[in-house]
Copies of this chain bind each other. A is one copy, B any other.
């Protein structure tokens, strides 16, 4: 997203939420509950009911970046022997702090050359360079996209909820002001009436004991 688009979107969403606020007003409660549930209970796929995309859209990796295979390569830290490259089929990457494994289809680099990370080499033929490793990566990429979308939605939602709550707050405070003023007026009126009606005896205060003419 570039700035103008995101700003426009934000504004649009704000307007929409304002409309929603106007329509159903008694929805201000349970902010934390929803957030926590959306944070922990991710068993439901699209909590916000976004009609845009669901699981399928993620599995269809049709982003403009995804044409073809989309490989990504890897770490290879701390190697002064840069000349003997991957074509040696045995030296380069795959082990450098277990970060960013080398990949490149039908090419295998056995984990080598890093003294601190030699143990995982034996670990169950790790890092199959182009077998079902790609499958796992692709699945994880899908999951990552999904999770990040979810996070984005969650953040937007929280933001809008905050705005909504702020508006509600303002309204409530206004209402409180009104009520307070009204109450003051009434109290004043009552006390005045007490003053005037003092000749009939029965002086008392409005809030508690109002049994004059009993």
Select from chain B the residue with minimum beta-carbon distance to A129: B82
Q: Is the CB of B169 within 8 A of A28?
A: yes
In the complex, chain A residues 70-102 whose Cβ is within 8 Å of any chain B Cβ: 70-80, 82-88, 92-93, 96-97, 99-100, 102
> Within 8 Å of chain B (Cβ to Cβ): is A175?
yes
Q: Which of B102, B165, B190, B200 contacts A186 (CB 8 A)?
A: B190
Q: Is the CB of A73 within 8 A of B102?
A: yes
Q: Which of B70, B93, B172, B206 contacts A169 (CB 8 A)?
A: B172
> Within 8 Å of chain B (Cβ to Cβ): is A159?
yes
Chain B residue numbers with a CB within 8 Å of A210 are 189, 192
Q: Is the CB of B93 within 8 A of A32?
A: no
16 A–B pairs (Cβ distance < 8 Å), ordered by A = A31-B162, A32-B162, A35-B159, A65-B97, A67-B97, A68-B77, A72-B74, A72-B75, A73-B76, A92-B104, A161-B162, A169-B172, A172-B173, A179-B180, A193-B197, A197-B197
Question: When A and B form their complex, which 9 residue pairs have the shortest distance between CB atoms, in order from nearest?
Answer: A165-B165, A73-B73, A85-B87, A85-B86, A172-B172, A179-B179, A185-B206, A182-B206, A31-B166
